[in-house]
Amino acid sequence: MALDWCPFAVKRPISSENFSTGRAGQQVKAVVLHIAAGPLSAVFPTFNNPARKASAHFCVGKDGAIEQYVSVNDTAYGNGLAWKDGQWYKTRADGSIVFIQPTWQDIIPRVNPNLYTVSVEHEGQPADKWTDAMYDANNRLLLWLAEQFDLTYTPHRTLIGHYEIDPVDKASCPGPNVEYDRIAADLAALIAARKLTWMPINDQAALYEFAQENDLGYPQTDEFAFTLKNEAYIAQVFNLGIVYVKKDDWGNVKWVKKQ
């Protein structure tokens, strides 16, 4: 099971009247992006108001802050639709009923999409362009969600805008400036990179410091050992050369050009 709360988001649990416990047996299959149509500071009070019957799991601020209001294993009320006589519909705040024809091709007939989506709000208005900090924070959050739910992001399939569920009242949510293709490509690269064994860089190590002082570039390997005349040496390959030193003789680091 996924972790309930994102470890790098600010945890702000809302009233239990504004979400449902669990997901009624459904599995998360998509992340839905929203626009808050207001500041980050207004999101928690709105979702914590039992009279509103509204919520999302997260909101990302323009400064890169991330708040979480509902466990990802519970059902937020951000994307709700009801089903009757072969049609989707929703009841507006004034009690009127409007029928909806979602454009999201992966919506499950008869099943409220809240049950199998994670909702992410974003600070600002629909016409606003995302800040770099917001974009990066959104990617960080989506990467975490991908790991929790084994998601691969495909624009308009597993990464969608609210307008694709409700094109009537939410036609401008999250807005025209959201770069679905770029986000999906960024996340694909990040997810692929996570599967690799990354080489740690110790910028305090003597070999690294020597290489930087002598403009030898960046490490191409981790440090490795070799022996000469029964003496132990430590070495490391950099872009422009191999740096080495007799073990415990750190004041006499040397290097040789790669051949």
For 73-84, how does the pLDDT look when each residue is reduced to its tens digit (9 = 90+)? Answer: 999 999 999 999
* CA gap 13, 209 in Å, rounded: 47
Residue 197 has pLDDT above 80, yes or no: no
Q: Report which DSSP code applies to 238.
A: B
Query: Per-residue confidence at 200, pLDDT binned at 50, 70, 90?
Result: confident
| Cis-peptide into 174, omega within 30 deg | yes
Looking at the DSSP bridge assignments, the partners of residue 63 are none
What is the pTM (predicted TM-score) of this model?
Answer: 0.82
pLDDT tens by residue, 90-120? 998 888 999 999 999 999 999 999 999 999 9
Top-confidence residue, 199 or 65: 65
43 Rama sector, left if φ>0, alpha if ψ -120 to 50, beta otherwise: alpha
> Which of 176-184's residues contact partners 24+ apart within 8 Å by CB, and which partners?
176/126, 176/127, 177/127, 177/128, 177/129, 177/130, 178/33, 178/130, 180/155, 180/156, 181/155, 183/135, 183/138, 183/139, 183/142, 183/153, 183/155, 183/159, 184/153, 184/154, 184/155, 184/159
Query: Per-residue confidence at 256, pLDDT binned at 50, 70, 90?
Result: very high
Sign of CA dihedral 201, 207, 209, 211: negative
The backbone torsions φ and ψ at residue 53, rounded to the nearest 5 degrees and listed phi first, read 50, 45
